[in-house]
Chains A and B, each alone.
Chain A
Amino acid sequence: MNAEHGIEAEGLVRTFKGDIRAVDGIDLAVEPGEIYGFLGPNGAGKSTTVHMLTTLLPPTAGTGRVAGYDIVREGPKVRAAIGAALQEAALDNLLTGREHLRLQCALHGISRAERRRRSDELLDRVGLRLAADRKVGGYSGGMKRRLDLALALVHRPTILFLDEPTTGLDVQSRSALWAEVARLAREEGVTVFLTTQYLEEADALADRVGIIDHGKIVAEGSPSELKAQIGRPTVEAIPRDGTDPAAVARILEQFGEATGGSPKGVAVRLTHGVTDLAGIVRALDAQTIELEQLELHAPSLDDVFLAKTGRSLEGAGEEEEEPEPA
Chain B
Amino acid sequence: MTLAAQVGHIARRSVRRTIRQPANVIFPFVFPMALLAVTSAGLNPATKIPGFPTDSFLAFFLAFPFIQGALFATMNAGTDLARDIQSGFLNRLALTPMRGGALIAGQLAGIATMGFVQAVFYLSVGLAVGVHLASGVAGAAVLLALATVIAIAFGSLGAFFALRTGSGEAVQGLFPLLFVCLFLSSMNLPRNLIEIDWFRYAATANPVSYLIEGIRSLIITGWDWQALGLAFGIAAVLGLTSLAAGAWALRMRLTRT
Contacts and interface: CB of A to CB of B under 8 A. Distances in A.
B88 A103 contact: no
Contacts of B16: 94-95, 99
B91 A71 contact: no
A109 B99 CA distance: 12
A108 B96 contact: yes
A99 B16 CA distance: 10
A151 interface: yes
B42 interface: no
B56 interface: no
Interface in A41-64: 54-58
Q: Is the interface of B mostly helix, strand, loop or mixed?
A: helix
A86 B17 CA distance: 23
Interface string A93-124: 01100010001101111000000000000000
Contact of B256 (A75, A80, A109): A75
A107 B1 contact: yes
B13 A84 contact: no
Given A71-B257, A75-B256, A91 B17 contact: no
A76 interface: yes
Interface residues of A, number: 33
Contacts of B17: 92, 94-95
A283 B68 CA distance: 85
Interface in A107-146: 107-109, 135
Interface string A72-84: 1101101110101
A151 B92 CA distance: 9
A3 to B, nearest CB: 19
B87 A91 contact: yes
B257 A55 contact: yes
A326 interface: yes
B89 interface: yes
B87 A94 contact: no
A88 interface: yes
B9 interface: yes
B87 A90 contact: yes
Contacts of B91: 56, 86, 90
B117 interface: no
Contacts of A94: 16-17, 20-21
A75 B6 CA distance: 19
Given A56-B91, A71-B257, A80-B97, A107 B9 contact: yes
B26 interface: no
Interface in B83-107: 84, 87-89, 91-98
B88 A109 contact: no
A95 B255 contact: no
A167 to B, nearest CB: 14
7 contacts: A56-B94, A76-B97, A79-B256, A88-B88, A90-B89, A91-B89, A109-B97
Given A56-B91, A79-B96, A95-B16, 5 more contacts: A57-B255, A92-B13, A92-B84, A94-B20, A99-B16
Interface of A: 54-58, 71-73, 75-76, 78-80, 82, 84, 86-88, 90-92, 94-95, 99, 103-104, 106-109, 135, 151, 326
The 7 closest A-B pairs by CB, nearest first: A90-B88, A75-B257, A107-B96, A109-B1, A94-B17, A90-B92, A94-B20
